[in-house]
Structure 1
Amino acid sequence: MNESVGDWWSTGITDIQPGSIRLRGYPIQDLIGSVSYPQMVWLMVRGELPSAAEAELLELTLVAAVDHGPQAPSIAAARMAASCGLDLNNAMATGVNLLGDVHGGAGQQCLEVLHRLRAEVESGESPESAARALVTEYKARKAFIPGFGHRWHPHDPRRDPLITALGRAVEAGTVSGTYLTLALALETVLAEGSKPVPMNVDGATAAIYAELGFAPELARGLFVLSRSVGLLAHAWEQHNEPTRIKGPLPKGINPTYTGPGPRSLPEN
């Protein structure tokens, strides 16, 4: 009976026994002080430890996406939750739960686009022609290409250091460079119009995740891990401020009303 119950929650990740904690087979006491946090993240989600160079690339993505201030809905929501008296974990969860397809999902979506482009290149298309066909398709349905353009930054300051580091990793043989080539081809095609649409942090991190072999779904999970640091910092800052019940608009500013004018109930 006990074995059948244990099988119900079987896992290849964690082995817990009295006085023993093993993660992916490694004793926790050996991991502490021997591996970095990015290495630990990789071990937990991938099953094996990364090389130092792979872990360095992963760390860059985790640092890059930490925060974008209260201008980001997830951060603003966490701050509002904290101002309403919620504990830090609840405030952080409020922000995390805003990270969906529209806000927080572009990295995963861009990685899926890069996978699609790779399949087309493997079938005989050049990176440029595959990228151009994809851009044409997205423009025809008036859709945004995930990972490119930013509503706040004409040029995302996080793009260059990430892409430069990825280029060095390609030169060092750490990764193949296949997805970097595709991402840059897409950026080149998007620059051909009247208004260039450069790569943003989601596109740059997606290229790195693709090169490192992470599944698209994990790209969003890794973004959540990164942004949770910003959520914690902002929730804590708000927790220590006197403002209570901080709404989306400052006091004295009401949202514009667009409903019916004043009216009376009809007589019975």
Structure 2
Amino acid sequence: MSTTNTTPPNLAALCADYWSTSITDIHPGSIKVRGYPIQELIGNVSFPQMIWLMLRGELPGDEEATLLEAALVASVDHGPHAPSIAISRMATSCGLPINGAMASALNALDDVHGGAGQQAVELYADIAARIVAGSPFDAAVEAGVDEFIAAHGKYLPGFGHRFHPVDPRAGRLLALVDARVASGTIKGRYAAIARGIEALLKKRKDRPVPMNIDGVTAVIYAELGFAPELARGVFCLSRAVGILAHAWEQRGRGERNKGPMPRQIPYAYTGAPERHLEQS
């Protein structure tokens, strides 16, 4: 049996191509991020600006950066009843270190708990595409909402809240959005679409269904040009701060094996009544 010898490729060039990146260029004594020496960025750009640079390749303007920062600040936490926060506390009480508790909690930020912002951006983008294609505004909003509901069910991401009649974060963020529209920083078309959805829901349900934090931050991410999936990723960066804070607070309490509710409160058992094996 014979084998065919082939000339191995240039392994250094192969590895360089395999891990090629346009983000960070590192050599002994040198770190450049998107072309900027790291020492020039340190102390001169904010963390939101750094996030933008890493994800988008260029530094944002000041008004863009402060609007992104507002969305990040607004989303950091929603108390220990939020599943991701509760998970971080339970994981900590079970002995996980901080990184393990954070990872456990962040893994819960999926489609149901954590995905609404991405889904809202996708909904807004679909409606915007209908408008660009020539559909009148109201018709585009209605068609987009109806198609989303037909595909995903009656829950519309970004509107209404199980806890807040009016989300206290939404009004402040919308005011900041409106200010950036007035200054020309953003165009405001996604804000108009979100308000169009809000008006449609009020008409259909005969009661207000206001935007919540996910709906408004989705407006911000869409206005700033972030892809829908990045909306979820940036939300995870924000919520990680709350997860860390709660995990650290829980660490100081010295509790062990914290469950989802106090052990003094019973749960409802709905299975078969007590029964026994037949004796042979």
TM-score class normalised by the smaller sequence? over 0.9
* Paired AA for residue 191 in structure 1: K
- Following the alignment from structure 1 to structure 2, what is the Cα–Cα distance between the partners of residues 68 and 43? 28
- The offset of 1:267, in angstroms, is 4.1
**Per-residue deviation, 1:139:** 5.8
Q: 2:19 is aligned with what amino acid?
A: W
Deviation at 1:220, TM superposition (A): 0.2
The one-letter amino acid of 1:254's match is: P
Question: For the residues of structure 1 that align with 2:109 and 2:150, how far apart are their CA atoms?
Answer: 27
Structure 1: runs of 5 or more not aligned: none
CA distance in 2, matches of 1:76, 1:154: 23
Are 2:207 and 1:199 aligned? no
1:23 aligns with 2:26: no
**TM-score scaled by length of structure 2:** 0.92
CA distance in 2, matches of 1:5, 1:121: 46
Task: Output the amino acid matched with 1:9.
Answer: W
Partner of 1:244: 256
CA distance in 1, matches of 2:143, 2:165: 24
For residue 217 of structure 1, give the secondary structure of its aligned residue in structure 2.
helix
Instruction: Report the secondary structure of 1:191's partner residue.
Output: helix
CA RMSD of aligned residues (A): 1.4
Cα distance in 2 between the residues matched to 1:43 and 1:17: 20
- Name the residue aligned to 2:200: 189
Aligned 8 A contact 2:126 2:144 in 1: no
Matches within 5 A, 1:75-94: 75-94=85-104
Matched, 1:161 2:172: yes
CA distance in 1: counterparts of 2:182 and 2:39, whole angstroms: 36
The corresponding residue for 1:134 is 144
Partners of 2:145 and 2:224 lie apart in 1 by 25
The 5 A counterparts of 1:28-177 are 28-137=38-147, 142-177=153-188
For residues 146 and 138 of structure 1, the distance between their equivalents in structure 2, rounded to whole angstroms, comes to 10
1:223 paired residue number: 235
Per the alignment, in what secondary structure is the counterpart of residue 17 of structure 2? Answer: helix
**Per-residue CA shift, 1:161-202, capped at 9, x if unaligned?**
111111110110001111111111111111112232110000
Distance change (3 Å), C-alpha of 1:266 and 1:149: same
Q: Does the CA-based 8 Å contact 2:84-2:243 persist in structure 1?
A: yes
Q: What's the secondary structure of 1:16's corresponding residue?
A: strand
Percent identical pairs in the alignment equals: 56
Deviation per CA, 1:218-248, whole angstroms, max 9, x where unpaired? 0000000000000000000000002211100
TM-score by length of 1: 0.96
Asked if structure 2 preserves the Cα contact closer than 8 Å seen for 1:135 and 1:189, the reply is no
Alignment of 1:247-266 (within 5 A): 247-266=259-278
- CA distance in 2 between counterparts of 1:46 and 1:13 reads 10
Query: Structure 1 runs of 4+ off > 4 angstroms?
Result: 136-142
Check 1:140–1:15 CA distance in 2 against 1; reply closer, same or farther (3 A cut): closer
Work out the CA distance in 1 between the residues paired with 2:158 and 2:277. 51
In the alignment of these two chains, the number of paired residues is: 268
Matched, 1:233 2:237: no
